[in-house]
Structure 1
Amino acid sequence: MARRISGSKTGNEAGEFRPTRDDILKFVKENPDQGGKREIARAFNLKGADRVWLKDVLRDLQDEGLLEKRSKKFTRAGALPHVVVLDVFSRDADGLLLARPSEWPEENGAAPIVSIRPPRGAGARVPGIGERVLAKVFPTEEDIGPAYTARILKLIEKRSDAVLGVLRKLQDGTLRIEPVERRQSELTVDPEHAGGAKPGDLIEVEPVSSGRYGLPKAKVLTVLGSLTSEKAISMIAIHAHEIPHIFPAEVLEEAQDARPATMDGRDDFRPIPLITIDPADAKDHDDAVHAEPDTDDANVGGFIVTVAIADVATYVKLGSPLDQEALRRGNSVYFPDRVVPMLPERISNDLCSLREGEDRPALAVRMTFSADGRKIRHAFHRVMMRSAAKLSYQQAQAAIDGNVDDKTGPLLEPVLRSLWDAYGALRRGRASREPLELDLPERKILLKEDGTVDRVIVPDRLDAHKLIEEFMIQANVAAAETLEGKRQPLIYRIHDAPSLAKQESLREFLQTIGLSLARGAQMKPASFNGILSRVVGSDQESLVNEVVLRSQSQAVYSPDNIGHFGLNLRRYAHFTSPIRRYADLIVHRALIGTLGLGKEGLSPAEEARLEEIAALISATERRAMAAERETVDRLVAAHLSTRVEEMFRARISGVTKSGLFVQLPQFGADGFIPVSSLGDDYYIFDESARALFGERSHKGYQLADEVEVKLVEVAPLAGAIRFEMLSEPKPLPGSKQSYHKARRGKPQSRGPVKRGRSRRR
């Protein structure tokens, strides 16, 4: 608990004691879980006008970059969250374990060191070096030594000693491991330690010795199969990121023993012609929709929209092996060649999948909207439903566009037309809300039967996609509003506004192309939309969309609500995909419990763990994103490995002082061009303009420029590609010539470099 503190005298008119800025900063540092404005005011006994004064001081400290606001709580800038995933890397002189956060933004400098307190209780397992833990962290008061201490909440399975690689056989018969990660050195394997692996196999090995001379030796732990097999590339990411992909026997047994739900305690929604609209290749269907005009004379032109979501809580019981495995996975992971599901197929593709013509349990929300898209009311029901039809996005869109088939013809007027009319109203509401409207095409890799790349496409963005997206957003909002209104703890999906540093960086960039971004006022999505609308159709449209995207914060899960900046919503929770996201299952249980819809509600113990669960599933989401991205990199790199020395049209996707990242639009592939290969001029990195320009020529290259490049090197296992620039530099009159300069004469690396981490909203 935060202690009550007497402030230092600051000479206010009332003659009261107020804390100094240093007092406030010290309190926030020492009380990371009590950093809200209310807690700070209580700690310093501030009332009335003093609370208004405190609000101004806290805003000033934010503007100066000394405090950050996370989930309604203030923290010291650059501070760790109260609950965080840590990697143990060493011990101190007293034998205490030392750790660093498993993820740390590069712009924040060196990651802080955390000293881990010994676990409590007899028999508690102590993590070893290289292991990963979820922990609560507390800042220390000392100026030297670790910046934090930590108490372990949970051990996370992690093996840092295993190496993933491909077995090669040299001409002299020596067996050698080519690691997947290029930063790891090669290893040798004695035949007796090969474990039956054959040359070309993807294997997991453990280093066993390292002599003074020669390469270190290893023994094979697992043979994952031939590198030429159709799913080998995604298996690399699965093992590299330690993604659980094999269900324990007890989990499969529990899933197999599950029996279909009954009507007990459920409303009968089977007469309602709910339909599913999904990708054509979808194997599970967890949401169904229906809309009809509202016949209430007080709501002329309004609609009643029903969204029904698979009732996963019926089958995944709290604390069961199935539940524990779902939490460990956190979410499903989607690769071009496979899906690693959160739940076994018996649950995800069978009992919980809203199959056409079959009875399925669901949690449904009926929402009433006005003609201008304003939600008037909503109510949740636990139901039994029967999908009237399974449609693909393309099929539903074709019907609305006048091209019906045997299935959509009978559905057009009674079902589809009402859905699109209701979407028209919701679209008006969305326009009034003004969420962030970025225009960034998403690419999809199509594979051949052997698992190699066939082609990369940019699927059309249809109104059918937007309809389902908006219906799901409204259902998610309704869930958050209901739970918050009942004072029921839940896990929100939160998205913070861009940091002041990112806003300033964006502002500097926009000035280089003659655009301005207002300073001082609280940032809103409409501020960015105004910028984006001014470049529609111009040569700078792609560039500005990219830079605005990179200025955004990352969305995460949290039991504390700060709203969703990108969607411009005050409260938002994930409710619509419990088959593939554990966060949604938490929200389902919270609704069931607080609305008295059954026995599968949240328990007090689970409510007490929401902060821990939010940190875990945020980490598994980032893990999935990284694994999916790296798999795409490797697939495309392997596809291009036969086209070295060919020329391509490309677009600059990143600029650093070391060189340029470029993307091939037709493949979605990213590669690197070292600054040392750009020519004889001395190139300077202009951070505000996202450009490299020549010191003598004042010509250079800028983010989003279209250029011609030559492919010169590919490393498929690492997903790394290196290009050579063929296009001449262009004049860059706006460059400031005042940013980071590479050191003269220092040789630049020409090796393939993996692309930087992308940021998603």
Structure 2
Amino acid sequence: MAMSKFPRVPRAAKPLNSPIVKVARGLPDDQTLLDALAANRELDVGDLAKQFGLKGDDRRLLRQRLKHLSEAGQLDKRGRKTFGAIGALPDTGVCEVVERDIDGELWVQWGKPEDTKKDKAKPPLARLAPLKKSVVQTPPTIGDRIFARFEKTSDGWVAHLIKVLDQGAPKVVGVVRISRQRKGVSEIRLESVNRKTKENYVLTGQGLDALEDGDVVVAAPVGGITRYGPKPAKVIEVIGKEDEPKVASIMSIHSHGLSIGFNADTELEAKSAKAPGLGKRTDLRDLPFITIDPSDAKDHDDAVYAHRDEDEANPGGYVVWVAIADVAHYVTPGSSLDKDARDKGNSTYFPDRVEPMLPHVLSSGLCSLQEGENRATLAVRMVFNAAGKKLSHSFVRGLMRSAAKLSYEQAQAAIDGTPDDKTGPLLDTLLKPLWEAHACLTRGRNIRQPLHINSPERKITLDAEGKVIKIEPRVSLDAMQLIEEMMIQANVSAAEALEKHKTPLIFRVHEAPSLEKIGNLADFLATLGLPWTKGEPPRTERFNALLDGQKDGPHAEIINEVVLRTQMQAHYSPENYGHFGLNLDNYAHFTSPIRRYADLVVHRGLIRALKLGDDGLTDYEIKTLKDTAEHITETERRSMKAEREAIERYIAAFLQDQVGATFQGRIVGVTRFGLFVKLTETGADGIIPVSSLGNDYFVHDDVQHALIGERSGQRWRLGTNIEVELMEAMPITGGLVFKMLSEPEAADPNAPRARLGVRARTGQAFQPRSGKPGPKTGGRPKGFIPQGVKNAKKKKKR
């Protein structure tokens, strides 16, 4: 276990020297006092005095005796006037989660470790009891401080959570650096892997001798912060070595507090799960569903099937079936599986691993729609007319069997005319009807007008050791768009069904841009000579007209970036605000319950609303939907940050050997301290510090999204294509630093001259890009005082 390098060492108690304390009449002897404390676990001096009827001098002698018993290590002083028995915990108290055992159980230690004297034993550890159903906050993790109620059981002490005092307590992930000082004394420092902060720490506490230079550890800042120099921190866990290729993901996991693995009860429940028989389920095994997923997919939670509608009243229409794994059958409300899934909120995907929401025995087994295997499903049948408008939908809880497992590339190749041995027999009967149905749905999508924002993605390929061997753009295939549009329509159907039955649910909402964001967009477009009415309500059709009209123009990329930044961030909510980006009034996540808790909640809602079983959404879940929505929104954003940071570290490691090389890129961010650049080939992100842009002083213009030379007026604008040189690559932080090789854009002749800053008022010389010194301009003679200031000083003297 990771904590083995930092063992707990119990300290022996000092022997009691009783003769030094005078025993007064009426005062109980030592053993009687200790028995009283053991019976009550904790008492203050007043309570003890009252219990033994002591007054006056006897109370003073009682305090003296308790003090000596405490110094002798036979009782524990817990406050100015409060004492407790050694080895006993108080009724309630503040404690810290200090470790996780091999069964996944968390253990807490009462009190502050730094307050424990060296000559006294530490308080016993207490096992953290499973959270009660009424507790809706995220469970604590190692390093968190909690307020708990302690209970003595036959198996030892148990802590019952009352409140998490500092959920997500500050923790630092960093690399150990050991430096040799004079006289052989080493200083062990921690170099944070967070490139947004330059703070370093000095490590203190036990077990430091076991650390090695280059160890990657999780640490927690402790008290006693010095005014100058690094802050102290204690090591919680050693998680790897900086030269291990796969440590990039591990650092991201710990930096963002992602839950790792599952507790023992969850694993046991997963292993005990059994596939259901047909029973009351609808038999869908005759329908030839197929799964179409990425080639490296381990789980398959959706399958599709489509055919022409045989109803004469719907000429040219199509019937589309979407079958989703019935995760709700296995993960029931209040179970350990459910608690762990809610805690995680979603699966998190890294280049080298997945931290799944459900144990692999379910996510890659019983809940995965594997080819040729009977699987429980919650399926929706949707009917579309020739224009792609959905006419109806119906849900069934059934049993299905996938006819084939295909990759996107495999299915696309078959449609494009190069089927293989597996797709050849499926081409006319299954694949072509799917593509025809997709064409029908695309007509409806075009009428609906979702946003046309372009956001290219990159795929990272690793070798067996976890090193990056290739970074390339993800190719967008029709097969991917087919699955995406069918999943969107299934999500819409789920939201509409629950709305119709007035069953509460968690919506996936994306609100329209705020008036402030629209105003900023209009101001920016004005700098390009493009009109946009600020008072016009935001509509996707208006955004698409702008994007499509400029897609072949010189400003296409910068307009795409600014329109993207104008949008709000999608989130989960029990209130329906619609989905602006997809231009939908009702939208909920239904199609991925293996990897998203939101979808599992929607499944339970459908089971309850449509009376498809007794394992649907409970009254308690309905009562706490707001808390759940807020929680899973946070876990989703936490996962996105962790995934992005891991990718940045892998890319930095890949480019580490290419320092000094030149690359083509594009400006994707403009700030007062520099330009953010995305490389065209790899999608790597880095920064060009403003100080390296030249001898002009560049000012950030947030309207034009540009850095503008204060004197020259030359500009670096968002979306500009540039050439850069890689100056530094830092795999530990994922940071890349570039040098600009391109020339800036010429000054806008119609723009007002930039207002000169403090450099002109102080007479600082301007150094042009040629390096030749220029004349001093705008400076005042030394000692010059404006007339108004002179008069003000005279008045003050009077």
Does the pair score TM above 0.5? yes
In the TM superposition, what is the alpha-carbon distance from 1:682 to its structure 2 partner? 2.4
Counterpart of 1:457, as a letter, is E
1:579-594 → structure 2 map (5 Å cutoff)? 579-594=594-609
Aligned residue in 2 for 1:495:
510
In the TM superposition, what is the alpha-carbon distance from 1:305 to its structure 2 partner? 0.5
Counterparts of 2:660 and 2:250, CA distance in 1? 29
Aligned residue in 1 for 2:12:
none
1:742-761 → structure 2 map (5 Å cutoff)? 744=759
Indicate the SS of the match to 1:704. Answer: coil
Is 1:435 the counterpart of 2:450? The answer is yes
Are the counterparts in 1 of residues 371 and 401 from structure 2 also a CA contact under 8 Å?
Answer: yes
Counterparts of 1:361 and 1:396, CA distance in 2? 25
Counterparts of 2:299 and 2:139, CA distance in 1? 41
Aligned residue in 2 for 1:308:
323
The counterpart of 2:409, out of the listed 389, 394, 397, is 394
Aligned residue in 2 for 1:160:
169
Is 1:642 the counterpart of 2:651? The answer is no
Counterpart of 2:192, as a letter, is P
In the TM superposition, what is the alpha-carbon distance from 1:734 to its structure 2 partner? 6.9
Q: 1:154 to 1:401 in 2, by over 3 A?
A: farther
The counterpart of 2:192, out of the listed 179, 182, 185, is 179
Is 1:552 the counterpart of 2:561? The answer is no
In the TM superposition, what is the alpha-carbon distance from 1:125 to its structure 2 partner? 13
Counterparts of 2:140 and 2:428, CA distance in 1? 62
User: Alpha-carbon deviations, 1:415-466, whole Å to 9, x = none?
Assistant: 0010000111000000111111112211122222222222211121111000
Is 1:600 the counterpart of 2:609? The answer is no
Indicate the SS of the match to 2:279. Answer: coil
The counterpart of 1:530, out of the listed 515, 524, 545, is 545
Indicate the SS of the match to 1:611. Answer: helix
Are the counterparts in 2 of residues 693 and 735 from structure 1 also a CA contact under 8 Å?
Answer: no
TM-score (norm 1): 0.76
User: Alpha-carbon deviations, 1:313-368, whole Å to 9, x = none?
Assistant: 00001011110110111011111111111111011110100000000000000001
TM-score (norm 2): 0.72
Aligned residue in 2 for 1:220:
235
Most deviating of 695-704 and 391-400: 695-704
Counterparts of 2:750 and 2:251, CA distance in 1? 42
1:203-242 → structure 2 map (5 Å cutoff)? 203-207=217-221, 215-242=230-257
Indicate the SS of the match to 2:339. Answer: helix
Counterparts of 1:216 and 1:742, CA distance in 2? 37
Is 1:334 the counterpart of 2:349? The answer is yes
In the TM superposition, what is the alpha-carbon distance from 1:727 to its structure 2 partner? 1.3
Query: Which 5+ residue runs of structure 2 have no aligned equivalent?
Result: 1-133, 147-160, 765-798
In the TM superposition, what is the alpha-carbon distance from 1:212 to its structure 2 partner? 7.2
Counterparts of 1:744 and 1:241, CA distance in 2? 42
Are the counterparts in 2 of residues 189 and 219 from structure 1 also a CA contact under 8 Å?
Answer: yes
Q: 1:718 to 1:738 in 2, by over 3 A?
A: farther
Aligned residue in 2 for 1:683:
698
1:499-514 → structure 2 map (5 Å cutoff)? 499-514=514-529
Counterpart of 1:711, as a letter, is L
Q: 1:439 to 1:288 in 2, by over 3 A?
A: same
Counterpart of 1:167, as a letter, is V
Indicate the SS of the match to 1:236. Answer: helix
1:221-620 → structure 2 map (5 Å cutoff)? 221-620=236-635
In the TM superposition, what is the alpha-carbon distance from 1:625 to its structure 2 partner? 0.8
Indicate the SS of the match to 1:733. Answer: coil
In the TM superposition, what is the alpha-carbon distance from 1:618 to its structure 2 partner? 0.6
Q: 1:154 to 1:416 in 2, by over 3 A?
A: farther
Counterpart of 1:327, as a letter, is R
User: Alpha-carbon deviations, 1:542-567, whole Å to 9, x = none?
Assistant: 11111110100001111110110000
User: Alpha-carbon deviations, 1:590-645, whole Å to 9, x = none?
Assistant: 00011010011111111111111100011111111111111111221222223223
Q: 1:215 to 1:367 in 2, by over 3 A?
A: closer
Counterpart of 2:207, as a letter, is H
Aligned residue in 2 for 1:170:
179
Aligned residue in 1 for 2:207:
193
Indicate the SS of the match to 2:252. Answer: helix
In the TM superposition, what is the alpha-carbon distance from 1:743 to its structure 2 partner? 6.1
Are the counterparts in 2 of residues 685 and 740 from structure 1 also a CA contact under 8 Å?
Answer: no
Most deviating of 518-527 and 253-262: 518-527
Are the counterparts in 2 of residues 204 and 222 from structure 1 also a CA contact under 8 Å?
Answer: yes
In the TM superposition, what is the alpha-carbon distance from 1:220 to its structure 2 partner? 2.8
In the TM superposition, what is the alpha-carbon distance from 1:698 to its structure 2 partner? 2.2
Aligned residue in 1 for 2:112:
none
Aligned residue in 2 for 1:698:
713
Counterpart of 1:726, as a letter, is L
Are the counterparts in 2 of residues 557 and 617 from structure 1 also a CA contact under 8 Å?
Answer: yes
Counterpart of 1:164, as a letter, is V
Indicate the SS of the match to 1:309. Answer: strand
In the TM superposition, what is the alpha-carbon distance from 1:260 to its structure 2 partner? 1.1
In the TM superposition, what is the alpha-carbon distance from 1:536 to its structure 2 partner? 1.6
Most deviating of 511-520 and 297-306: 511-520
Counterparts of 2:194 and 2:740, CA distance in 1? 26
Aligned residue in 1 for 2:129:
none
User: Alpha-carbon deviations, 1:660-692, whole Å to 9, x = none?
Assistant: 111112221211122222112222222221111
Indicate the SS of the match to 1:411. Answer: helix
Aligned residue in 2 for 1:725:
740
Counterparts of 1:273 and 1:634, CA distance in 2? 43
Are the counterparts in 2 of residues 684 and 741 from structure 1 also a CA contact under 8 Å?
Answer: no
Are the counterparts in 1 of residues 145 and 169 from structure 2 also a CA contact under 8 Å?
Answer: no
Counterpart of 2:194, as a letter, is E
Are the counterparts in 2 of residues 653 and 661 from structure 1 also a CA contact under 8 Å?
Answer: yes
Counterparts of 1:204 and 1:520, CA distance in 2? 51
Q: 1:661 to 1:211 in 2, by over 3 A?
A: closer
Counterparts of 1:739 and 1:250, CA distance in 2? 66
Give the percent of matched residue pairs that are identical in Structure 1 and Structure 2: 49
User: Alpha-carbon deviations, 1:56-82, whole Å to 9, x = none?
Assistant: xxxxxxxxxxxxxxxxxxxxxxxxxxx
User: Alpha-carbon deviations, 1:691-742, whole Å to 9, x = none?
Assistant: 1122332222111111122222333222222222121112141774588987
Counterpart of 1:380, as a letter, is F
Indicate the SS of the match to 1:299. Answer: coil
Q: 1:132 to 1:293 in 2, by over 3 A?
A: farther
Aligned residue in 1 for 2:91:
none
Indicate the SS of the match to 1:296. Answer: coil
Counterparts of 1:566 and 1:178, CA distance in 2? 41
In the TM superposition, what is the alpha-carbon distance from 1:207 to its structure 2 partner? 4.3
Counterparts of 1:260 and 1:177, CA distance in 2? 49
Indicate the SS of the match to 2:461. Answer: strand
Are the counterparts in 2 of residues 439 and 545 from structure 1 also a CA contact under 8 Å?
Answer: yes
In the TM superposition, what is the alpha-carbon distance from 1:168 to its structure 2 partner? 2.6
Indicate the SS of the match to 2:313. Answer: helix
Counterparts of 2:220 and 2:493, CA distance in 1? 50
User: Alpha-carbon deviations, 1:245-277, whole Å to 9, x = none?
Assistant: 121111111111111112121000001000000
Indicate the SS of the match to 2:410. Answer: helix
